[in-house]
Amino acid sequence: YVALKFLKPSYSINSQNKDKLLVEGRILEELNKHPHIINVRAYIGKDEHHGAYLVLDYIAGQTLQSKHPKGIPIELPTVIHYVTQIASALDYAHEHRILHRDLKQNNIMITATQDIILLDFGLSIDETNSDFELPNGSSMGFPETMAPERWDYRSQRESDVYALGVIIFELLTGQKLFE
């Protein structure tokens, strides 16, 4: 089973969107061996007739946010089960110098077997790339889970850990950390 993430051919072949999609493909290819990170099967960015696309594993399940709506706290053993898998995926990415930078409940899938799959590496970067800047008007992540340094366009491993901490708080309390 596969899912596609693609850009229509009407986008310029030199567009920032195509470049971001290719970076996401390369990052996911590097992280393909982890059981809690979405697998990429292929990515193409130079096809003028079909646009740019990623071919990803299809994950049957629900996002963490849709399975556990806000306002309802989750039992501690369930949170531990989820967080152990999310932290394992983040640790693996960090070992490969990859920062997710967009960790939120909608980017975490729960399968029918209660396995966690981390999705959407579209804002991810190699942490050794100190020259990286987001272009004007680009999204920099989800404000409710962003670490303070992310507001200054700086990212580090601890930024992902901060986002995970916000998610843990929300799961345990059923409330947002900040409104």
CB-based contact 85:36 (threshold 8 Å): yes
- 58-89 as b/e: b if 16+ CB within 10 A: ebebebbeeebeeeeebeeeebeebbebbbbb
Helix, strand, coil proportions of the chain in percent (round to 5)?
Answer: 35, 20, 40
CB-based contact 78:64 (threshold 8 Å): no
Q: Among residues 102, 120, 126, 131, which one is catalytic?
A: 102
Catalytic residue list contains 102 = yes
- Residue at token pair 């596969």: 2
Active site residues: 102
